[in-house]
Amino acid sequence: MFPLFHVLADAAELSGGLRAVHSSEPLRAVALAAAEPGVALRLIAANLRAAATDVRLDGLPGAQARIRRLNVESAEDATMRPEEFRASRWEPAEVLGGTLRLRLEPYEVVRVEVADR
């Protein structure tokens, strides 16, 4: 199993209405988003560079989110234990005033789920 499996699986799970996402620096970071039943919003954000970068996701509903990081530190778990990685590697994240700030490591992909209010 390759880590790319998780990126493609996450993209395939964006079954709701796709939302437009604008990146102020599209050569640095990009994202996909969809409204989902039972989840206010689901996003996939990716750092496209070999250096860490800070991203700000604006216009998010709710105050709580959860994130799952796919990066150099989690790649072994994602590769060797894919089901466990997909189910248990979630961390809480706080949305303040509709904004979630994240530091993305080099080439990191983060799945974000913002809870319904």
At 3 the pLDDT is 80
Count structural domains, the chain: 1
Nearest to 62 by CA among 92, 104, 87: 92
At 105 the pLDDT is 97
Residues 6+ apart with CB under 8 A from 87: none
User: What are the pLDDT digits (tens) for 45-88?
Assistant: 999 999 999 999 998 887 889 999 999 999 999 999 999 999 98
What is the domain range of residue 111? 4-115
This prediction's pTM: 0.89
Q: Is the pLDDT of residue 38 over 80?
A: no
| Apex 93 CA angle, 88 and 95, nearest 5 | 145
Output the domain CATH number for residue 24: 2.60.40.1180
Nearest to 3 by CA among 99, 86, 96: 86
